Structure 1
Amino acid sequence: MLSLSCARSRALHASIKSRTVSSHSTGETRKGFWGSKQGYAVGGALGVSTAIGIWAWCKADKDRPLSIHSFSPVTILSSENTGSNTKLVRLKIPDRILPDISFPPPIWSVFVKDSDIQIERPFTPLEGASEDGALDLWVKKYSDSEMGRWIHSRPVGESVEIRGPHQTWAWKEDTWDRVVMIAGGTGVTPFHQLLHHVFSKGTKHSPVEFVLLHAYRSMDEIPPPAVMDNFSKWSKTNPNKLKISTFVEGETSGSYQDGKVTESAIREALATDDRSRTLVLICGPDRMINALVGPKTWDGSQGPVGGVLGKIPGKFEVWKL
């Protein structure tokens, strides 16, 4: 998501301040409101307020509580390679602002700002925030993504700016009987956050049944061991509440299935009592989402259900993260 840069504020200010409105009548040019003294005053005020707003966006306040409306500095505690293009990055929220933060239920994210070129992108913490203010982000570096490359290049101990939390989707336990989660690559992070909340927060007797179908292009791209170990532990201790299938292209050893998330796997996950309230959540690359459930609309809204899910009869709802 692109945002106005600090460098553009001067140009924006100047364009607002110098704007005039004119019309032509009988060969004469007449000044409108923007050409009058009052117009220059209003234009100047608009320019100043716009510049101040952009300056506030660009400037992080180290003592301001973490907020969705402004950036706060956090420290990189660790940055560990988990594959050739992925890293597990741990951020630390300062103790002085931690008590003032109220984190929502899953699923939520934080926006990280690239201070070099003033862009931001949301990332979903793997487990929410720990009691001491640690946030774990699993970040992939894409060839066409400046944000991923920037985070991968930051050294341990450096300060970065974040804002949030931003509620991506609100978990309500009493709304669903079954939740089917379909993920590709780092798109599994919101589902790890949700399952961590359900199975690690003393709610082992949740009435909801969960099914996770997650896929990767190679073993190099699977989640870090801590994530995979959690999936294994939660499914073994809650066999009637959590079923997990992992798909890795070209891999058939152990508990992995070769290929991508298939239509048959989705049909099996959805096979349940017609009276049950079933939700399908999906997160991953656009190509996968388009093929399985159809794309979002141009403005980012959900759009109709298409693709593989659009052909499967049954009573269920779909939400594209």
Structure 2
Amino acid sequence: MDQLQPYLQQFNNYLGKFRTLKRIEKATGIPKTYFTLAVYFFTSVSVFFNVWAGFTTTALALIYPTYRAFEASYKDDTEALKVWTTYFWFVGLVQLLELKLDTILYYFPFYYVVKVVLLFGMFLPQYFGAKLLHDAVVPVLIPYFKNAEQAHNKTIPRASQILQHRLVLSVPYVANSADTRHFPRRGIHATTLKPEKLAPNQHKLVAVVLLTGAIVVIGDIVYFTYYHEPVAATLTPEDFKKFKLTEVIPLTHDTSLLRFAANLPQADSPAGMPVPSHVVVKDHTCQVARAYSPVTYARGHFDLLVKKYENGSVSRFLHDTPVGEFVEMRGPVVTLPYEPNAVADIGMIAGGTGITPLYQLIKRILRDPEDKTRVSLIFGNRSPADVLLFNELQIMASAKPDRLRVFLTVDSPADPRPNVGKWTGGVGVINRTMLKQHMPPSALGMDAAILVCGPDGLIQHVAGAKPNETDQGPLGGLLKELGYQDRQVFKF
């Protein structure tokens, strides 16, 4: 510490040049060196790590300039007030842009650093960019000011000027001097007076200011109470956050697509959101949670396919949630780390809503031009009316038949929906024949992977039981009979 004393003393001598710091030191008893270092440390941490950066930079933009503006007003320094007016106009413009462009600013992590440097350049005496801005802008506006003043003078009758002058003279006053003063633009001479109270025009000014302030306050209260939409939350794997349900689209008699507003700018990045992944939905009424795999991650929302089960508390809770309400969720939680081209072929076996994580992965594989992995899907359902994402799967398979093959099978081909053609897919539960025809052969070894997702009965029938979320359990079922190895199969 002793080695730092010469530097601290030198820094203290430098800070002694600033009257404001001397006043703070005298008022608080805190040495100006420590006070300055503390402010610098707090500001640096806040700005560089984006911890209350918006609040910190706004405080920096207002505290010192406000003090200097009041000081100029007290000293009746007209030139300084002109410059500070320009500065606060600039700060207001910056704050307005921040409110409207907060999503865009997400992509500029050093924005607040640039803002601090810009603010210092605007108000520090060494640079005083506000004066440069004032000198550049005001000359452009002078013609408009002159035109407005001329128009104003033409509209005021002579009688109104005389009446206003008499009203001023009617205010109680104390004589200040016997000198006379000429009123410009009116041609009227009057004794110089010192009003004891506000002049009528000053009363009007105060009334206008108070009325404007009241309107702004009431407007803010009404806006934030009834119209303001808060910025949507961002998904985080660790913490539950509230997401607004914005739309419900029924897909089948018991399954709906639920759209939730979210701020997910990373969804538009080349890497995108991690898939396959899921979010954990919490039913706050009974503190029960369940995992759902979104079928869509977009910048402003994500979509869940939710099937309603009579004995499923979370599924019933989601279906009963009205549009406009909020649901607590966290995520995305990666279900299976995926690496492009890790295997040549992926076989997928899905049942019901078990299609959702596999659908995520299919979209990711087909969207990546560098990923040459081939995908084969067997998707089983009770009836044609229960097949989820039917059109989406058919479109993707038709667009890239060399990369994706889809085989649909139903327990019963009867379709209760009107004007629907005859079922052309498979009929019956998933069996050995279907697996041998549509899945990559077990002989490919580690060049092939099989992913299974669906109800517990389907998983046990195809790949053996999965004891819990963290234990895959031994391979069994049809895949075991066909010669697949444990390391080739993953159960969701």
Q: TM-score w.r.t. structure 1 length? A: 0.72
Q: Are 1:270 and 2:440 matched, yes or no?
A: yes
Paired with 1:120 and 1:77, the residues of 2 have a C-alpha distance of 21
Per the alignment, residue 89 of structure 1 pairs with 258
Per the alignment, residue 309 of structure 1 pairs with 479
Query: What is the aligned length?
Result: 251
Indicate how the Cα distance of structure 1 residues 300 and 179 shifts in structure 2: closer, same or farther if over 3 A, else same: same
Cα pair 2:293 2:356 within 8 Å, conserved: yes
Cα pair 1:290 1:307 within 8 Å, conserved: yes
Superposition deviation, residue 270 in structure 1: 2.5
Residues 222-233 of structure 1 mapped to structure 2, 5 A cutoff: 222-223=387-388, 227-233=389-395
Specify the SS of the correspondent of 1:173. coil
Cα pair 2:442 2:483 within 8 Å, conserved: no
Paired with 1:299 and 1:273, the residues of 2 have a C-alpha distance of 28
Indicate how the Cα distance of structure 1 residues 211 and 99 shifts in structure 2: closer, same or farther if over 3 A, else same: closer
Give the structure with the higher percent strand. 1
Indicate how the Cα distance of structure 1 residues 317 and 100 shifts in structure 2: closer, same or farther if over 3 A, else same: closer
Q: Are 1:209 and 2:371 matched, yes or no?
A: no
Q: Are 1:239 and 2:398 matched, yes or no?
A: no
Q: Are 1:319 and 2:490 matched, yes or no?
A: yes
Amino acid at match of 2:377: L
Q: Are 1:190 and 2:357 matched, yes or no?
A: yes
Give the structure with the higher percent helix. 2
Cα pair 2:257 2:306 within 8 Å, conserved: yes
Residues 11-50 of structure 1 mapped to structure 2, 5 A cutoff: none
Cα pair 1:178 1:276 within 8 Å, conserved: no
Q: Are 1:106 and 2:275 matched, yes or no?
A: yes
Cα pair 1:103 1:165 within 8 Å, conserved: no
Specify the SS of the correspondent of 1:260. coil
Paired with 1:275 and 1:112, the residues of 2 have a C-alpha distance of 37
Superposition deviation, residue 278 in structure 1: 0.5
Superposition deviation, residue 175 in structure 1: 1.0
Specify the SS of the correspondent of 1:290. helix
Paired with 2:287 and 2:330, the residues of 1 have a C-alpha distance of 13
Amino acid at match of 2:357: P
* Aligned with 1:250 (options 383, 396, 412): 412
Superposition deviation, residue 254 in structure 1: 3.9
Specify the SS of the correspondent of 1:175. coil
Cα pair 1:178 1:277 within 8 Å, conserved: yes
Paired with 1:235 and 1:228, the residues of 2 have a C-alpha distance of 11
Residues 114-125 of structure 1 mapped to structure 2, 5 A cutoff: 114-125=283-294
Amino acid at match of 2:320: S
Superposition deviation, residue 119 in structure 1: 1.2
Specify the SS of the correspondent of 1:195. helix
Write out per-residue CA displacement over residues 130-167 of structure 1, whole angstroms, 9 at most, x where no aligned residue: 02x21111101112111111100111111111111111
Per the alignment, residue 249 of structure 2 pairs with 80
Per the alignment, residue 296 of structure 1 pairs with 466
* Aligned with 1:138 (options 286, 289, 305): 305
Specify the SS of the correspondent of 1:270. coil
* Aligned with 2:386 (options 191, 216, 221): 221
Paired with 1:112 and 1:299, the residues of 2 have a C-alpha distance of 16
Q: Are 1:166 and 2:333 matched, yes or no?
A: yes
Paired with 2:398 and 2:462, the residues of 1 have a C-alpha distance of 28
Paired with 2:362 and 2:455, the residues of 1 have a C-alpha distance of 21
The gaps in structure 1 that reach 5 residues or longer are 1-61
Paired with 1:250 and 1:64, the residues of 2 have a C-alpha distance of 43
Indicate how the Cα distance of structure 1 residues 194 and 105 shifts in structure 2: closer, same or farther if over 3 A, else same: same
Amino acid at match of 1:130: A
Q: Are 1:66 and 2:235 matched, yes or no?
A: yes
Q: Are 1:261 and 2:430 matched, yes or no?
A: yes
Amino acid at match of 1:295: A
Paired with 1:100 and 1:263, the residues of 2 have a C-alpha distance of 41
Indicate how the Cα distance of structure 1 residues 282 and 314 shifts in structure 2: closer, same or farther if over 3 A, else same: closer
Percent identity over the alignment is: 27
Q: Report which structure shows greater RCO (CA 8 Å, sep ≥6).
A: 1
Cα pair 1:126 1:192 within 8 Å, conserved: yes
The gaps in structure 2 that reach 5 residues or longer are 1-230, 415-421
Paired with 2:425 and 2:379, the residues of 1 have a C-alpha distance of 10
Specify the SS of the correspondent of 1:116. coil
Indicate how the Cα distance of structure 1 residues 237 and 273 shifts in structure 2: closer, same or farther if over 3 A, else same: farther
Q: TM-score w.r.t. structure 2 length? A: 0.48
Indicate how the Cα distance of structure 1 residues 63 and 185 shifts in structure 2: closer, same or farther if over 3 A, else same: closer
Indicate how the Cα distance of structure 1 residues 88 and 318 shifts in structure 2: closer, same or farther if over 3 A, else same: same
Per the alignment, residue 178 of structure 1 pairs with 345
Specify the SS of the correspondent of 1:174. coil
Indicate how the Cα distance of structure 1 residues 257 and 117 shifts in structure 2: closer, same or farther if over 3 A, else same: same
Specify the SS of the correspondent of 2:363. helix
